[in-house]
């Protein structure tokens, strides 16, 4: 998304294109992954207040540019740019890495729920905890030394 279209999207929905909002969007864009509000604040170091980060994320979510998801057990929300495709989050409990699994599994599920059960799914939040390929290869069951991601 270009800077211009970002500005347009905000204005089109009655919001102003302010420095904090653009900076927050930039941070998420650069991260190409998930960030908590605090991590976002850290990446725009000193330039945006944490409370403003929350408000900016809220506005960006309102206009559909970002969305939040709860990953793992730490009490904070993670945020990411909204993707065109639904996707699952694969959280490795060994190394802590979060992978995006883009596939048709979510689509299939939505279809199944609608046709089979009349439930019209709009938002699907799918968080899978497990062991990723590299960690599963290293040690089967035993955590990798020095990669404490579990709490």
Distance CA 100, CA 86 (A): 10
Which tokens in the block code for residue 123?
Answer: 């938002």
Does 147 sit near a second copy (CB under 8 A)? Answer: no
Which tokens in the block code for residue 136?
Answer: 């599963």
Select the residue interacting with a second copy from 14, 84, 120, 151 (CB under 8 A). Answer: 120
Size of the site for DNA (CB under 7 A): 28
Does 130 sit near a second copy (CB under 8 A)? Answer: yes
Task: Output 22 or 105, the one with its CB closest to a second copy.
Answer: 105
Distance CA 110, CA 114 (A): 6
Select the residue interacting with DNA from 9, 18, 87, 96 (CB under 7 A). Answer: 18
**Residue 11: partners with Cβ closer than 8 Å, 6 or more residues away:** 17
Q: H-helix or E-strand containing 28? A: helix 19-31
Does 25 sit near DNA (CB under 7 A)? Answer: no
Cβ-contact 3, 29 below 8 angstroms: no
Cβ-contact 40, 28 below 8 angstroms: yes
Stretch that binds a second copy, among 4-12, 23-31, 43-51, 102-110 (CB under 8 A): 102-110
Binding site residues, DNA, CB under 7 A = 7, 10-11, 15-21, 36-38, 47-52, 54-56, 58-59, 74-77
List residues near a second copy by CB under 8 A: 70, 88, 90, 92-93, 99, 101, 103, 105, 108-110, 112-113, 117-133, 136
């Amino acid at each position: 998304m270009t800077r211009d279209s970002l500005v347009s999207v905000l204005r089109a929905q009655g919001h102003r294109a302010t420095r904090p909002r653009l900076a927050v969007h930039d941070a998420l864009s650069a991260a190409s992954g998930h960030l908590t509000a605090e991590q976002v604040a850290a990446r725009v170091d000193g330039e945006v207040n944490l409370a403003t980060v929350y408000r900016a994320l809220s506005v960006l979510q309102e206009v559909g540019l970002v969305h939040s998801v709860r990953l793992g057990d730490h009490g904070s929300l993670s945020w990411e740019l909204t993707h065109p495709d639904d996707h699952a989050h694969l959280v490795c409990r060994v190394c802590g890495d979060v992978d995006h699994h883009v596939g048709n599994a979510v689509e299939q599920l939505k279809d199944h729920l609608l046709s089979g059960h009349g439930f019209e799914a709009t938002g699907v939040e799918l968080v899978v905890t497990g062991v990723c390929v590299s960690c599963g290869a290293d040690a089967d069951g035993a955590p990798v030394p020095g990669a404490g991601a579990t709490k």
